[in-house]
Amino acid sequence: MFANFRLSLTWLHTWFGLTLGFVLMVAFFFGSLSVFDREIDRWSLPDTRIEPQPMPSFDSILASRFAMITEPDTDQRDEAAKRVTAPLPGKLTARSWNAYTTHRDPVLLMYVGFEVPNSPLPEDTVYGDITIDPRDGRVLPEDRLALGSGFFYPMHYSLHITWHDLGYWIVGFAAMMMLVALVSGVVMHRKFFREFFTFRPGKRLLRSTLDLHNLTGVVALPFHFLWALSGLIIFAAIYFPVFETSLQPLVDQHEHEEAMHTGLDAKPSGVPGRLASVDAMMKVAKDHWASRGVPGEVGFLSVTHVGNSNAYVSIYRDSTDRVATAEGLHFEGSTGRVIFEDPPAGPIETVNAFLTGMHLQQFKHWTLRWLIFAGGLLSCACIATGFIFFVEKRKHVHAKQGRVGATCVDALAVTTVTGIVVATMFMLVMNRVLPEELARRGVWEKGAFWVAWLATLLHAAWRAPAVLQGRLSKAWAEQCRVIVLLGVAAVALNALTTGDHLGRTLGAGYWPVAGVDLLLLAAAGTAAIAARRLRQRAGDPRTELASIEEAERA
């Protein structure tokens, strides 16, 4: 199709990078925020600004709270109702109880898995969850949205498009195209190592943009590649559901053998049974870890085949001290006897668990956490400079020919680069402004996000005709100024509505809230500098003239 190998890859890089780049911006921006999801949760739920807590007592707190979760989330139930072959019964049967916590969680997420009868999918399960204060078991209000783990985190891998997992597929394809863009980007540029050290900010926009695109791409190349790849691997079962669909006999056989080997039944017995003290099992597990020289807290606890005589309890150590997630201890529910201990993972599973654990980073290592955050921002910078280069290279030619390509791309770039920050900050501001008692408060917050993002798109489209004339769209600078206002407003509103101003949080060393405030201010400061630079550029007629000449040479 093309004259040579490099031209083919250049075409791939340009067009797939551009079209999926908008999705990648969302994935990497909200992925970066997800590095601090628990901290953003604390900022957005002032009631939960307490120190992280260990897994509470099962017998006195968790058991009764699990029993309160009697049905799955309405959304999940409605989705399941569409895929079953016979109408869903009014009350679904609970199959598993699960509780998960990490060294950064002051609140505990508890969720119950319900069996979906008459489903074409094997092991089809829907979930209902609550969040409790582990100190006293108080159930937190359901309509309060944890902005970090409840909104930004799922946004980065699903775009909140739940219909047939479409969001996962879009993000997955975008991640694949990230890998393609990295490979083609490296092949396109023959001076790979020189680009490590090349940034000429004083040069004209087109040249500096390309320098920065290459620099951010090359410097963080392993990060870009491994995070896109590990993100895909985490959802491999969604992207390649090969075994469950076309190799079912092998799966059945494996399940059967595994149940024989481990003593953990794959199916519920159907005979009612009672649970022995799970607190005693947790004690056994902790003593066991301590005797192995790896003392720790319970990170994940799950009861399978709830209410059946063959129920079993699985207890996992938290992941504070390592990358890969842990092996579990499994207890017979009725007696508390240890049935099985997961053996150390095989070499391939170890690699898989490492890649997954690296992406999900539940370990306790703040330097690494910040480096991963920086890696995510470098990915964003690399993608954003790609957009700008695309527009700058073409806008004068397109302007002469009256083509709208560069104009549309510029408007979408504004929406996904500055617009995404505006919408995020607006959501934080609304989180502090909406009345505390407001019913379905979380829905209003989500609405605020989407409306603000749509507004940035409309604003960018309204300002875009400037690009059609070969000029710079004013939307960039204007949205930067909105970021300055919103960032400062969010910090001020947090101080006003909760009393946790920076003086207090920094003084007390309460980093979850202080950190979010400082990042908001840093973003506002960066946006202020960007807005000033953009205004200087727009006011200097020579830059436009020179960039026309340069674009003609390029």
Partner 1 sequence: MAATRSRWQVFSRICASTLGSYAFCWGFVALGGASLIAAGLEFHEASSLVSMLAFLLYLTTFCWAFIASSLALVWGVLAWGGALMALAAWWIARLMA
| Residues at the interface with partner 1 (CB under 8 A) | 1-3, 5, 7-9, 11-12, 173, 176, 179-180, 183-184, 229, 232-233, 236-237, 239-240, 242-243, 246-250, 252-254, 258, 346-349, 351-352, 355
Contact 426, 489 (CB under 8 A): no
Residue 458 neighbours by CB under 8 Å, 6+ apart: none
Measured from the CB atom, the residue of 4 and 367 that comes closer to partner 1 is: 4
Smallest separation (angstroms) from partner 1 to the CB of 176 = 6
Measured from the CB atom, the residue of 45 and 182 that comes closer to partner 1 is: 182
Q: d(Cα 71, Cα 85) in Å, to the nearest integer?
A: 20
Measured from the CB atom, the residue of 67 and 247 that comes closer to partner 1 is: 247
Smallest separation (angstroms) from partner 1 to the CB of 267 = 18
Smallest separation (angstroms) from partner 1 to the CB of 502 = 43
Name the one residue in this structure whose structure tokens are 């002051």. Answer: 106
Smallest separation (angstroms) from partner 1 to the CB of 356 = 10
Let me know how long the chain is.
554
Radius of gyration in angstroms for the set of CA atoms belonging to the chain, rounded to a whole number: 26
Smallest separation (angstroms) from partner 1 to the CB of 5 = 6
Contact 77, 128 (CB under 8 A): no
Residue 411 neighbours by CB under 8 Å, 6+ apart: 457, 460, 461, 463, 464, 467, 473, 475
Contact 53, 101 (CB under 8 A): yes
Contact 194, 218 (CB under 8 A): no
Q: d(Cα 538, Cα 396) in Å, to the nearest integer?
A: 16
Measured from the CB atom, the residue of 246 and 367 that comes closer to partner 1 is: 246
Q: d(Cα 524, Cα 530) in Å, to the nearest integer?
A: 10
Q: What SS3 class is residue 127?
A: strand
Contact 102, 38 (CB under 8 A): yes
Cross-strand bridge partners of residue 127: 113
Scanning 189-220, the segments in alpha helix (DSSP H) are 205-219
Q: Which two tokens stand for residue 511?
A: 């980093």
Measured from the CB atom, the residue of 345 and 528 that comes closer to partner 1 is: 345
Measured from the CB atom, the residue of 350 and 536 that comes closer to partner 1 is: 350
Measured from the CB atom, the residue of 237 and 443 that comes closer to partner 1 is: 237
Measured from the CB atom, the residue of 236 and 290 that comes closer to partner 1 is: 236
Measured from the CB atom, the residue of 23 and 215 that comes closer to partner 1 is: 23
Contact 83, 119 (CB under 8 A): yes
Measured from the CB atom, the residue of 139 and 242 that comes closer to partner 1 is: 242
3-state SS, 433-452, equals HCCCCCCCHHHHHHHHHHHH
C-alpha closest to that of 53 among 104, 110, 118: 104
Smallest separation (angstroms) from partner 1 to the CB of 31 = 17
C-alpha closest to that of 456 among 491, 427, 492, 490: 427
Measured from the CB atom, the residue of 189 and 203 that comes closer to partner 1 is: 189
Report which residue type is found at 202. Answer: G
> How distant is the alpha carbon of residue 200 from its chain centre?
33
- Helix or strand (DSSP H, E) at 238: helix 236-239
Measured from the CB atom, the residue of 127 and 235 that comes closer to partner 1 is: 235
Q: Which two tokens stand for residue 366?
A: 């703040």
Smallest separation (angstroms) from partner 1 to the CB of 237 = 8
Smallest separation (angstroms) from partner 1 to the CB of 268 = 22
Smallest separation (angstroms) from partner 1 to the CB of 13 = 10
Smallest separation (angstroms) from partner 1 to the CB of 1 = 6
Scanning 189-330, the segments in alpha helix (DSSP H) are 205-219, 221-234, 236-239, 242-246, 248-262, 278-291
Q: Which two tokens stand for residue 361?
A: 């980073």
- How many of the other CB atoms lie within 10 Å of CB of 430? 20
Q: d(Cα 548, Cα 397) in Å, to the nearest integer?
A: 9
Smallest separation (angstroms) from partner 1 to the CB of 124 = 20
Smallest separation (angstroms) from partner 1 to the CB of 428 = 35
Measured from the CB atom, the residue of 1 and 271 that comes closer to partner 1 is: 1
Contact 442, 487 (CB under 8 A): no
